[in-house]
Amino acid sequence: MAKKPRIKTPATAKQGEVFQVKTIVSHKMETGRRKDKKTGTNIPRNILNRMEVTYNDRSVFAAHMEPGISANPYVSFYIKATESGEIVFKWTEDSGAVITETRKITVK
Amino acid sequence: MAHLSFKPGITRRRLLGVAGTGVASLAGAALTGGTARATPDDVQGEINKIVGGPAARVDNDKVKMKLPQIAENGRTVPVTVTVDSPQTDKDYVKRIHLLAEGNPVPVVAVFDLSPLSGKAEISARIRLAKTQNVVAAAEMNNGDVFIGKKSVKVTIGGCGG
């Protein structure tokens, strides 16, 4: 299972400011096409296939990911600051495992 | 293959050269035949699914793609897609589809944006199996689709192993 994701969001933002959000998760993103050298069989696919971001419970960004996304998936996007609150990040792995992280933001 | 004759223009060296390229192209055909890869047609098929027809056009001003011209390592290629849009409630980019013409799976990722995004720009790092075109299809809230396309030279492929 993946380690704790690294997320970069500002702690404070001005009303109406558009800020960048950077995220990276340590994850092998096994494509399912790599061969196990000992057995010669393909290592089963196991990637983070979905990422969802909500800002005070409103969906602001989501990503559907295929094996074409590199290992340790880095994804960056933008959010417009409208109100103070929480930004919740959620990743779902092929196995069904879920990683969630929360970041607080204060809007002045 | 080269036609054997004793015309003065054909030297031994030139003949060997022609034969050489013939062998190389045969070997190339055998290689591409053996591995399942997406083709530009597959990517067009995906775009047709998004648009519901082949109506979308390439507009590299509307959909700007930032990618290295030469990617030394296909395992991780940084890509940034910026769509020219005010991203307001009335006019915004709903989805950005990222596609690769030469990868085993043509769809790389689909990003859902919203008016809360403020700016229609995404970045990610992708795998590229070989030298190919990377395509971004931006789906607007009114159904319009704009396509951005950029070719990337890949030195070492980054899929499977």
Q: What is the pLDDT of residues B46-93, one digit of tens each?
A: 777 776 555 667 788 889 999 999 998 999 999 999 999 999 999 999
What is the distance between the alpha carbons of residues A75 and A77, in angstroms, rounded to a whole number? 7
Do residues B158 and B76 lie in contact, with contact meaning Cβ atoms separated by under 8 Å?
yes
pLDDT at B58: 76
- Say yes or no to pLDDT of A69 above 60: yes
Question: Which pLDDT tens digit goes with each residue over A18-36?
Answer: 999 999 999 999 988 888 8
* Preferred mutation among B127, B128, B130, B159 to probe A, highest tally of A CBs within 10 A: B127
3-state helix, strand, coil in chain A (%, to 5): 0, 55, 45
Answer yes or no: do A79 and B116 touch at CB < 8 A.
yes
Q: Looking at beta carbons, which residues of chain A come within 8 Å of B132?
A: none
The domains of chain A, with CATH numbers, are: 6-29+45-107 (2.60.40.10)
Which residue in B has a C-alpha nearest to residue A59's C-alpha?
B114
Q: Searching chain A, which residue's CA lies closest to the CA of residue B102?
A: A68
- Residue A12: pLDDT over 50: yes
pLDDT of residue B35: 53
What is the predicted pLDDT for the residue at B27?
39
Of the candidates B123, B126, B158, the beta carbon closest to that of A76 is on B123
